[in-house]
Every structure is written in C-alpha cells, then in structure tokens.
Amino acid sequence: MLDAWVCPLRTRCTGPPLAVGRELTKGPLVSALPTDAVRGLYPGHPLTVATSREAFPPRRAQDAPTAAARQVERLRTHRDTRTPLVPPSPPRRAWAPRVAHRRRLVGDTVRRTHRLTRALTHSFPPVLQWLQDNDTALLCDCLSRWPTLPAAQLARRATLERFSRAPPVRAPAVIPTRLEALTTAVALTTEAGVLAPTTRLGHALVAQLRVTWHALADCDTALAQRAHAHPDVPGFAALLGAGAVFAPRLLVAFGEQRARCTSAEARHN
C-alpha cells in the first residue's frame, strides 16, 4: 500500500527527493518510508494544526483545507523553521521499544496490584497488614493456597510456620505475631455472594501478576545483554541513582542527537 502511494508520487514529481510532513515522529509509516525517495520527514505538532484551524475556521465548503493541506502549506512556507526528522541508528531503534515495553509492564504490575488490594479488602483484609508488600511473590503464594481468611484459619499451624519461614522472608521474628493474629482474626464477611467473586478475581490477578513478572525478568535480561555492547550505557549507569533500570531509560531519552540540547532546561522542554 505504501509503494502504491510513493511510486506514483515519485513518477509525477521528478527531480530531488520528496519532503513529507506528518504529525507523528514514530510509527509504521516512519519506519517504512524509503530513504532514497524521501528527502526528509518534517514532524509537525498536532496542536499547531488545531490552533490554525481555530484561528481560521473552516467554511464547511467542498474546497475547505484539510489538516493534510495545512501541513503541506506550513511545509512550503515555513520549512526553515522545521527540523527534519533524523532516523536513529539500528541499535538505538532496538533500545527504545524495549525500554517502552518494560515501562508498560511496570504500569501493568501497579494496576493489577491495586486491583488485588481492593479485592482483598473484601475477602482477606488481614493479609494486607501482615504482608504489606503487595507486589511480592510471597503474597501471591499465600493467596494461591489460602484465598480467604477462613481457609487460612483451617490450615495447620505447622504448615503455616513452614510456609512463613520459606524464602523470601526477611523478618522471621514477626512470624509468631502473624500466626497469633491469624488465630484471633475475624472475617469481614462470610457471605458467599461476596467471597466467591472476589476470590475468583484474586486468583485471576495473581496469575496475571506472575506472567507480568516473568515478562519483566525477560526484559531485564535482554536489556542487560545489550548493555554490554553499547558504549554509552556505562556512563549513564555510573550516574547517582541510575543503575541498571534507569540507565537504559536515560540512554533512550537523550538519544543520539545530543547537540540539540545544550542545557538541562532545553532537554526538559
């Protein structure tokens, strides 16, 4: 489909390569446009076209300019104020989606953890006080075996002690306190109409969290393997507070055209 658009355009407009204006700086079209037929991609902010449309409202006629026509007009008259988009190198192009995908997985973990917390307030409220780190594998293992407070109270004390002393428990001194609190705890409700749906939701969220953690581990492994081959990663990793997580994000944020940001204020803007 893209060749069907570019080839007739090149045949009609013979001469130097074409200049293409568009609103986005990334996407399938940016990656698929042939560099030999296109002189450069000139990104334009969508807000600029929207402001122009507000300043010059359309006449609702057949010849009213469209958003694409406004982009072409700006490209013809104000090309000196627009900087062409320079495509990144293949290593840099491979870094950006990996970092973005990892950040989305972290966001998915946070959202599912919040949903799990809301579900536990109905079915198993005391576990939120005993295991305050809601995004740990220990909480998921606990809910997989004892999804509700009555189920945990029916378990043998030796079984609970064995489970509580398994890794990654870091404070074994609080285990007797938790077991005593489990014995004396009172369920918020015993109504099946409340416990059954929230228990099923908890099982589903626990399974989703496990899959997300596995995907995060794969992303971290892939980023660590590529970090050894990139010469700029050690410099970003040496910054205070960067480490293995924020060093790839800093690398993607600064990019390869670092001369365009001469100060911290310019980088922020």
Instruction: Centre a 10 Å sphere on the Cβ of residue 19 and count the other Cβ atoms it contains.
Output: 16
Res 266 pLDDT > 60:
no
Q: What is the mean predicted confidence (pLDDT) over 36-50?
A: 65
Q: How would residue 126 be classed by pLDDT, with cut points 50, 70 and 90?
A: confident
Mean pLDDT of 176-199: 81
Torsions phi, psi of 128, nearest 5? -70, -25
Task: Name the pTM for this structure.
Answer: 0.68
Domains of the chain, CATH where assigned: 2-81 (no CATH), 95-227 (1.10.287), 231-268 (no CATH)
Q: What is the pLDDT of residues 9-29, one digit of tens each?
A: 666 666 666 666 666 666 666
Percent of the chain with pLDDT over 70: 65
More confident site: 51 or 179:
179
Give me the sign of the Cα torsion angle 139, 145, 149, 155.
Answer: negative
Please work out, in degrees rounded to the nearest 5, the angle formed at the alpha carbon of residue 166 by the alpha carbons of 206 and 186: 60
Q: Is the pLDDT of residue 38 over 60?
A: no
Per-residue pLDDT tens digits for 61-120: 555 566 677 777 777 777 676 666 666 677 777 788 888 899 999 999 999 999 999 888
Looking at the chain, the whole-number percentage of residues with pLDDT higher than 90 is 13
138 or 205, higher pLDDT: 205
Q: What is the pLDDT of residue 211?
A: 94
Residue type, 259: A
208-260: pLDDT as tens digits:
999 999 999 998 888 888 877 777 778 877 887 787 778 888 877 777 666 66
